[in-house]
Amino acid sequence: MKIHYFSGEVWEEEYVKARLSNEEISFHEGPLAAFPDLADPEAEVLCMFIESKIGEDGMKRFPALKLIATRSTGYDHIDIAAAKARGIAVANVPFYGGNTVAEFTFALLLALSRRVIDADERVRDTGTFSHDNLRGFDLAGKAIGIVGCGHIGVHVIRIANGFGMKVLAFDVTRNDELSRTLNFTYVSLPELLAASDIVSLHVPYNAHTHHLINRENVGYIKRGAYLVNTARGGIVETAALVHALEEGILAGAGLDVLEEEGDTKDEMKFLSQTNPREATMRVLLENHALMRMPNVLITPHNAFNSEEAFQRILETTMKNIETFIAGKPVNLIP
pLDDT digits (tens, 9 = 90+) for 181-193: 999 999 999 999 9
Q: Both 134 and 269 in a single domain?
A: yes
- Using alpha carbons, select from 237, 236, 240, 234 the residue that is nearest to residue 262: 234
- Asked, for residue 331, whether it belongs to a domain, the answer is no
- Asked, for residue 140, whether it belongs to a domain, the answer is yes
Average pLDDT (315-322) is 98
Q: Both 170 and 260 in a single domain?
A: yes
pLDDT band at 272 (very low <50, low <70, confident <90, very high): low
- Can you give the pLDDT at residue 17? 94
- Can you give the pLDDT at residue 270? 57
pTM of the complete model: 0.88
Question: At 323, is the secondary structure helix, strand, or coil?
Answer: helix
Phi-psi region of 7 (alpha: psi -120 to 50; beta: other; left: phi over 0): left
Domain count, the chain: 2
- Asked, for residue 106, whether it belongs to a domain, the answer is yes
Q: Both 215 and 311 in a single domain?
A: no
Q: How far apart are CA 267 and CA 286, in angstroms?
A: 13
Residue 68, domain CATH: 3.40.50.720
Q: Which domain holds residue 210?
A: 98-298
Residues belonging to the active site: 232, 261
Rounded to the nearest angstrom, the gap between the alpha carbon of residue 332 and the centroid of all alpha carbons in its chain is 20
Position 240, amino acid: A
- Asked, for residue 333, whether it belongs to a domain, the answer is no
- Asked, for residue 82, whether it belongs to a domain, the answer is yes
Q: Both 36 and 185 in a single domain?
A: no
pLDDT band at 274 (very low <50, low <70, confident <90, very high): low
Q: Both 166 and 203 in a single domain?
A: yes
Q: Both 79 and 102 in a single domain?
A: no
Q: With beta carbons less than 8 A apart as the criterion, state whether 195 and 187 touch.
A: yes
Q: How far apart are CA 160 and CA 193, in angstroms?
A: 17
Q: With beta carbons less than 8 A apart as the criterion, state whether 311 and 103 touch.
A: no
pLDDT of 87 > 90? The answer is yes
- Can you give the pLDDT at residue 261? 79
Share of the chain above pLDDT 70, in %: 96
Q: Both 91 and 116 in a single domain?
A: no
- Asked, for residue 264, whether it belongs to a domain, the answer is yes
Average pLDDT over all residues of the chain: 94
Q: Both 149 and 248 in a single domain?
A: yes
Count CB neighbours of 291 within 10 A. Answer: 12
Q: Both 151 and 33 in a single domain?
A: no
- Can you give the pLDDT at residue 191? 98
pLDDT tens by residue, 232-260: 999 999 999 999 999 999 999 999 999 98
Q: How far apart are CA 70 and CA 67, in angstroms?
A: 10
pLDDT of 23 > 60? The answer is yes
- Asked, for residue 146, whether it belongs to a domain, the answer is yes
Q: Both 218 and 157 in a single domain?
A: yes
DSSP summary character for residue 97: -
pLDDT tens by residue, 130-141: 999 999 999 999
- Asked, for residue 330, whether it belongs to a domain, the answer is no
Q: Both 166 and 246 in a single domain?
A: yes
Q: Both 86 and 215 in a single domain?
A: no
pLDDT band at 97 (very low <50, low <70, confident <90, very high): confident
